[in-house]
A and B are shown apart, each in its own frame.
Chain A
Amino acid sequence: MKVLVPVKRVIDYNVKVRVKSDGSGVDLANVKMSMNPFDEIAVEEAIRLKEAGTADEVIAVSIGVKQAQETLRTALAMGADRAILVVAADDVHQDIEPLAVAKILAKVVEEEGAGLVLAGKQAIDNDMNATGQMLSALLGWSQATFASDLKIEGEHAVVTREVDGGLQTIKVKMPAIVTVDLRLNEPRYASLPNIMKAKKKPLDEKTAADYGIDVSPRLEVVKTSEPETRQAGEIVPDVDTLVAKLKEKGII
């Protein structure tokens, strides 16, 4: 079975995000970019499936600017077998919307004959949480989202989902799209031998046009603004004062 793992190049989670002065989005010029952390978990899970003998090949795919090549090399250094880069934008500020990404992924899935797509539940830049679901609809495949545990049992995937109030275990028919949550696994570091091997692994470069997909935006960002700054707190001497203060503010 081939496992396809879409990986997105996003602003590094450690970077202090700055909103562009015109409010059109987040400033990404000269900012450290990394693989979306949820996608890293998906890559890790795919590699574990391969190590367990469940998967034969792990293919990482990235859709976006050419620089996403670095993100793919990271996936290769972690242990993915090969990578596909679909260049769909030249400007780092142009975000390819979930529907366009899902359409391209659907084509790649068909072309590769993948049996499982492991994706991050969402990208940490725009938190859309939509690509996996849309891909499942386009392919007519089962979907299991927010996975915190995954087992492939014959024709089925048994997925534990993190839902409000607890864990839900579902069984879906393969082929399937599984979107992964934070607690599924802890991604490995790229080992030095794998880093050295990554360069030699195949990385195919395609364009959105190769798949006949129009990536022009359908959504309009009206405004991006900084979150409100937190108000300074107050240190109280004891519990009684705390309770009194909370009552005073009508919180309890």
Chain B
Amino acid sequence: MQFGLTDEQQMIVSTVRSFVEKEIYPYEAEVERTGEVPEELGQEIKRKTIELGFYACNFPEEVGGAGLSHLDFTLVERELGRGSMALTHFFGRPQNILMACKDEQRDRYLLPAVRGERMDALAMTEPDAGSDVRGMKCQAVRDGGDWVINGSKHFISGAEHADFFIVFVATGVDETPKGPKKRITSFLVDRGTPGFEVREGYRSVSHRGYKNCILYFDNCRLPDAQVLGAVDGGFDVMNEWLYATRLTVAAFSVGRARRCFDYALAYSAERKQFGQAIGKFQGVSFQVADMITEIDAADWLTLSAAWRLDQDLPSNREIASAKLYATEMLARVTDTTLQIYGGMGLMDDFPIERFWRDARVERIWDGTSEIQRHIISRDLLRPLGA
């Protein structure tokens, strides 16, 4: 058993961390205040990321990526987690589901995405289909040789800057003993396709400036060439490629928690009440102890799940545990840090209030905590027939 990082991994960590500290931190307050990322700033971050060879570093070398292992990439995500998500979005990591592109789809979508020329967004969630993905109403029907899509998607992150979308749509229903079961197909949809519209979404409490959008399909006609993977094979591409996004949420949470903890630790040592540093009071010092213990635990859980993926070991349950624990840990750490800061923690002079707000979504998106618990428990109990 070897717990140390290699020289390369250490350099990856220190490079990404100093990038975030120098290229992201200085602009965070403005993004928080305005809720917008200035166009030039986003492009500048993207340009620097490409120059450093980190853009699309999650993709294999044969398509122009850096070919990082899951563990290396998890370290990148962890360090990026320190910074504003609205800004680190431009430190592009396209959806690895694009690896399912075939033939000329590679030239139109995969390769330009890896080169940073076109940005992607993934669309699955609908107002009536959150955790229950199969409950989606957005559907495509055959018309001649084409598909005609109708319906809508919401909470679509990254849509604002996306040039094209990977959209999951119902393409039929199978009657099963358990009742009707929808067949799902994923489509590549270009921005500007007739009958497809991207509209402004809701204002979220978390990740200001990292907007979510609503997608509308009104008789949007797509040829077969836009199908990603196989017709009715939406769940296959999802299962093959989307498992790892939960790991990125876990990694984000660990990085963010470490940044938040640095504030808690420094403040505990500096802030004086009743004639001494508040860190000398057990009420605060034990909170500091609990926080670092939980952060370290989440970190190792996340890294070991990534390592399992690299070893081709079954990792579904471990990824779910990492996502569940890291996101709930982040909620506790940000809440405790805010408590240590007292009233000042609520004021936007410090980033604590936004760490606390941002943390809330992590337990919801990419599979709620409840869904993760479901995955973990089914993995354990199903083999026992329960």
Binding site for B on A (CB under 8 A): 34, 69-70, 73-74, 77, 189-196, 198-199
Within 8 A of A (CB), among B50-103: 51-54, 57, 66, 68
When the two chains form their complex, are residues B66 and A192 in contact, meaning their CB atoms are under 8 A apart? yes
Task: Please pick, from A70, A189, A195, the residue contacting B19 in the complex, using a CB distance under 8 A.
Answer: A189
Instruction: Output the least CB separation between B83 and chain A (Å).
Output: 15
Closest 5 CB pairs of A and B: A192-B53, A191-B53, A193-B53, A195-B11, A191-B52
Question: In the complex, A195→B18 CA distance in Å?
Answer: 15
When the two chains form their complex, are residues B12 and A195 in contact, meaning their CB atoms are under 8 A apart? yes
Task: Please pick, from A69, A189, A191, A195, the residue contacting B8 in the complex, using a CB distance under 8 A.
Answer: A195
Task: Please pick, from B10, B53, B66, the residue contacting A70 in the complex, using a CB distance under 8 A.
Answer: B10
Would you give 6 A-B contacts (Cβ < 8 Å), ordered by A? A70-B7, A191-B51, A193-B66, A194-B53, A198-B8, A198-B11
Question: In the complex, A153→B19 CA distance in Å?
Answer: 34
Tell yes or no: B193 within 8 A of A by CB.
no
Task: Please pick, from A189, A191, A194, A198, the residue contacting B7 in the complex, using a CB distance under 8 A.
Answer: A198
- Give the interface centre of A70, A73, A190, A193 by most chain B CB atoms within 10 Å: A190
Question: In the complex, A191→B19 CA distance in Å?
Answer: 11
For B54, what are the chain A residues with a Cβ–Cβ distance below 8 Å? Answer: 191-192
When the two chains form their complex, are residues B66 and A73 in contact, meaning their CB atoms are under 8 A apart? no
Task: Please pick, from B11, B66, B68, the residue contacting A77 in the complex, using a CB distance under 8 A.
Answer: B11
Within 8 A of A (CB), among B1-36: 7-8, 10-12, 14-15, 18-19
When the two chains form their complex, are residues B53 and A199 in contact, meaning their CB atoms are under 8 A apart? no
Instruction: Output the least CB separation between A39 and chain B (Å).
Output: 15
Interface residues of B: mostly helix, strand, loop or mixed? helix
For B12, what are the chain A residues with a Cβ–Cβ distance below 8 Å? Answer: 192, 195
- Give the interface centre of A34, A190, A192, A194 by most chain B CB atoms within 10 Å: A192
When the two chains form their complex, are residues B53 and A189 in contact, meaning their CB atoms are under 8 A apart? no
Task: Please pick, from A69, A189, A196, the residue contacting B52 in the complex, using a CB distance under 8 A.
Answer: A189
For B14, what are the chain A residues with a Cβ–Cβ distance below 8 Å? Answer: 34, 74
Question: In the complex, A77→B19 CA distance in Å?
Answer: 15
Instruction: Output the least CB separation between B386 and chain A (Å).
Output: 46
For B52, what are the chain A residues with a Cβ–Cβ distance below 8 Å? Answer: 189, 191-192
From known contacts A189-B19, A192-B57, infer whether A73 and B11 are also in contact, taking CB-CB under 8 Å: yes
Size of the B side of the interface (Cβ < 8 Å), in residues, is: 16
Question: In the complex, A77→B54 CA distance in Å?
Answer: 14
For B57, what are the chain A residues with a Cβ–Cβ distance below 8 Å? Answer: 192
Given A70-B7, A74-B11: 14 more A-B contacts, CB < 8 Å: A34-B14, A77-B11, A189-B18, A189-B19, A190-B15, A191-B51, A191-B52, A191-B53, A192-B15, A192-B52, A193-B53, A194-B53, A195-B15, A196-B66
Chain B residue with minimal CB distance to A190? B15
Question: In the complex, A196→B52 CA distance in Å?
Answer: 12
Chain A residue with minimal CB distance to B266? A16
For A69, what are the chain B residues with a Cβ–Cβ distance below 8 Å? Answer: 7
Instruction: Output the least CB separation between B123 and chain A (Å).
Output: 29
Question: In the complex, A192→B91 CA distance in Å?
Answer: 13
For A196, what are the chain B residues with a Cβ–Cβ distance below 8 Å? Answer: 8, 66
When the two chains form their complex, are residues B7 and A73 in contact, meaning their CB atoms are under 8 A apart? yes
Question: In the complex, A203→B51 CA distance in Å?
Answer: 26
Question: In the complex, A142→B109 CA distance in Å?
Answer: 57
Question: In the complex, A192→B48 CA distance in Å?
Answer: 12
Instruction: Output the least CB separation between A75 and chain B (Å).
Output: 11
Instruction: Output the least CB separation between B4 and chain A (Å).
Output: 12
Instruction: Output the least CB separation between B267 and chain A (Å).
Output: 14
Question: In the complex, A195→B72 CA distance in Å?
Answer: 12
Question: In the complex, A74→B10 CA distance in Å?
Answer: 10
From known contacts A192-B52, A192-B66, A193-B66, infer whether A199 and B8 are also in contact, taking CB-CB under 8 Å: yes
Chain A residue with minimal CB distance to B12? A195
Question: In the complex, A73→B9 CA distance in Å?
Answer: 12
Question: In the complex, A196→B57 CA distance in Å?
Answer: 12
Chain A residue with minimal CB distance to B21? A14
Mask: chain B, 41-52; 1 = CB below 8 Å from A; 0 = not: 000000000011
Question: In the complex, A198→B57 CA distance in Å?
Answer: 17
Question: In the complex, A191→B52 CA distance in Å?
Answer: 4
For B53, what are the chain A residues with a Cβ–Cβ distance below 8 Å? Answer: 191-194
Question: In the complex, A194→B11 CA distance in Å?
Answer: 10
For B66, what are the chain A residues with a Cβ–Cβ distance below 8 Å? Answer: 192-193, 196
From known contacts A189-B15, A193-B66, infer whether A199 and B51 are also in contact, taking CB-CB under 8 Å: no
For B11, what are the chain A residues with a Cβ–Cβ distance below 8 Å? Answer: 73-74, 77, 190, 195, 198
Instruction: Output the least CB separation between A154 and chain B (Å).
Output: 32
For A199, what are the chain B residues with a Cβ–Cβ distance below 8 Å? Answer: 7-8
For A192, what are the chain B residues with a Cβ–Cβ distance below 8 Å? Answer: 12, 15, 52-54, 57, 66, 68
Question: In the complex, A210→B54 CA distance in Å?
Answer: 40
Instruction: Output the least CB separation between B258 and chain A (Å).
Output: 13
Chain A residue with minimal CB distance to B7? A73
Instruction: Output the least CB separation between B285 and chain A (Å).
Output: 18
Chain A residue with minimal CB distance to B9? A195
Question: In the complex, A34→B54 CA distance in Å?
Answer: 22
Instruction: Output the least CB separation between A69 and chain B (Å).
Output: 8
For A191, what are the chain B residues with a Cβ–Cβ distance below 8 Å? Answer: 51-54
Question: In the complex, A250→B7 CA distance in Å?
Answer: 57
